[in-house]
Amino acid sequence: MNKFTKMHGLGNDFVILDWRDDRRRKVPEAAARRLADRRLGIGCDQILVLRACDTADLRMDILNQDGSPSGACGNGTRCVADMMMHELQQDRIQIETDGGMLAAWRAADGDIAVDMGPVKTAWQDVPLASAADTLHVPLDMAGLDYGGLDAVCHSLGNPHAVVFVDDAERVDIERIGPLVETASLFPDRVNLSVVSRRDDGSFRMRVWERGVGITMACGSGACASGVAIARRGLGEDENRIVMDGGAVTISWNRDTSHVLMTGPVSYVATGQLSAEITALLEADNG
């Protein structure tokens, strides 16, 4: 119960707890914050808890740095898929999450692909606080005066807002990220991606994740951006998304609305948690 694995997908890093022998144990908020702390804990963007599942190879619960739950984590899903495919000696795996059942497999080049499921584009599904065309959601609805920009909003198990700009590098995402995340327009908060087209036809994306902040990569954010590019007609249905930590390929099937992400994963460490952190994990678990 006190062992962990640390992995990352393009710098988007995770502490993985394998609790498949206990479906009821929870991660207290204080323990999540300590695990995610980069000075006092292991350090990560999200904590992934693996559990036994009757309808899939396993279940994965996702917690942000602040201990809040997340319905989807694309890079984390790819990391866990690689780890479990090695263990189970399979090339394909099914993972149950709060955001739905996800299929992942080993691509021909050794990268890990995941079907993140159908993208939901109705304003109620994002969700937004009031009715709006999710292809063009003015940011002034969120109480922001940001040059008349609007966002493409949809849900991939968690809410996303994608804003297209001339140069993503020039956007002060550290300032506007928390403002958009907590705006009243987004009752469940929101992940913000700012995107610009590069000369080679790929797209540069920078991201602010709800409950985390700026991250080197965000799998569901890359999926949201790829779908937004296609919905706006700014690119093809398959696009290369370049984040701070590297690139993934995003493919959107318009007929099924499913979105696929393919990219690399990396292992960092395995180890044993200290008695102090173990005690925090055991708090409130009887």
Using an 8 Å Cβ cutoff, are 219 and 212 in contact?
A: no
Question: What distance in Å separates the CA atoms of residue 35 and residue 273, rounded to the nearest whole number?
Answer: 9
Q: How many CA atoms lie within 13 A of 21 on its CB side?
A: 3
Contact by Cβ (8 Å): 212, 178 = no
- The residues that are catalytic are 73, 218
Both tokens of 86, joined, read: 């090695």
All residues at 6 or more sequence positions from 160 whose CB lies less than 8 Å from its CB, including other chains: 126, 153, 154, 190, 191, 192, 193, 220, 221, 224
CB 194 within 8 A of CB 203: no
d(CA 281, CA 159): 28
| Residue 14: DSSP 8-state | E
Give the H/E segment covering residue 258: strand 258-263
* Cβ contact 220:191 at 8 Å: yes
- In three-state secondary structure terms, 280 is helix
